[in-house]
Amino acid sequence: MKAEVVVVGAGVTGVLTSAALFEKGIHNIVVVEKNYPGSGGSFRCATGIRASFTSREHIEVMKRAIELWPVISAKYGIKYSRDGYLWILTRERDVEFFKKVVEFQNSRGVPTRMIGPSQVQELVPTMRTDKIIAAVHDPMAGKASCFEAVLNLLAVLRKQGITILSNTQANKLIVENNVIKGVLTNKGIIHADQVLVAAGGESRDLLKTIGIDLPIRNLPKHVMVSETFKPLIKPLIINWSTSSYILQLLHGNFYIGADIPEEYDVEASNRLEFLRKAARVWSTYFPWLREVYILRYWTGYYDMTPDHHPIIGPIKEVEGLYVAAGFSGHGFMMAPAVAEALAEYMTGGKPVVREFENLNYERFTKGEVIKEIAVFG
């Protein structure tokens, strides 16, 4: 099989980039997925979309993504709603810290604001606020359907003639004289002029086959989801002191995540400790949650980099090889901007957002890491 581009990974980044490449005139694209499309982080994510970060790179990339989300949601029929984020603070030291964070975000054009418990009550009338000292409201943030973002795009890609190969494992990159030549899969070789690796934490294993070691490690994360209810909570709510969150998905379920001690690169397995913590934290603020049935509990991974920023763009050691991985829990929200940037790179251009150029692999070899601390869950 011969393609202009092989995309490894049929998650939201892979499918959106394929669509962006098609619009730029690259039509012979093959997408390979070791399991089924969306089976990695895309279908396990909290669906939140925000620019309330602490690094210039994250903020500028996400401002572009927030511009693009309404466009792609209208174009591909993806449910999207700008309901905001609410960061609740219960410790004085966190309030002082977030005052500085808000000042920085405002200086970059993100309209976050500090609010008090009474304003929290106005935003979420069903919430107890007696333990809250202050909060940060991000009205620019929102959420989208992760299922429609992948499945609707796949339907379009198939109509356009793009090949989607499920249950196809990419085992090795083929490189000759520092030029990418294709991908060896469990179903044979796919020759290609360009290859994009967007396979989450498994991107590291694939790059290792050509001697490049991406600094990405997999950290298990836990989530549970309830039965559906009428709309009760609009913003995605983060409890900063416990690194936990709750939101009501667009189809009505409550989606709850909470951080518990985990080790990198171990099997992601269900743990009673998570259920206890998540229930304890959020039933404090929403006592009626004690009566709610939990339908499912699942685990997945954040593919983490040391500085909590993704690795995006060309791998300079190999002509024609590109990567988009290590999103550290933020891949879904960034995907439209990342797809746009990759399509520019792969057709000889440069990203619209210049901060993408700081997110290359070389920052680790040069010691130019960029710290992000607004990671939770």
pLDDT along the chain (377 residues), means of 10: 97 98 98 97 96 97 98 98 98 96 98 98 97 98 97 98 98 98 98 98 96 97 96 97 96 96 95 96 96 95 96 97 97 98 98 96 91 84
Contacts of residue 111, Cβ cutoff 8 Å, sequence gap at least 6:
138, 139, 140
Q: Which of 46, 39, 37 is nearest to 254 (CA)?
A: 46
pLDDT of residue 191: 98
In angstroms, the first-to-last Cα distance of the chain is 41
pLDDT of residue 373: 84
pLDDT of residue 376: 82
pLDDT of residue 255: 97
Cα 62 from Cα 51, distance rounded (Å) = 5
- Please determine, looking at this structure, whether the domain spanning 84-142+218-304 carries the CATH number 3.30.9.10: yes
pLDDT of residue 323: 98
Domains of the chain, by residue range, sit at 2-46+147-216+307-366, 84-142+218-304
CATH fold of the domain at 2-46+147-216+307-366: FAD/NAD(P)-binding domain (3.50.50)
pLDDT of residue 371: 87
pLDDT of residue 321: 98
Beta bridge pairs of residue 222 = 299
Beta bridge pairs of residue 179 = 176, 319
Cα 7 from Cα 279, distance rounded (Å) = 39
Question: Of all helices (H) and strands (E), which one includes residue 365?
Answer: helix 362-365
Cα 263 from Cα 329, distance rounded (Å) = 16
CA dihedral (36, 251, 15, 358) positive or negative: negative
Q: Which of 244, 333, 241 is nearest to 289 (CA)?
A: 244
Contacts of residue 45, Cβ cutoff 8 Å, sequence gap at least 6:
146, 329, 331, 332
* φ and ψ of 18, to 5 deg: -60, -40
Q: List, in sequence order, the alpha helices (H) in 35-55.
A: none
pLDDT of residue 374: 82
Length of the chain measured in residues: 377
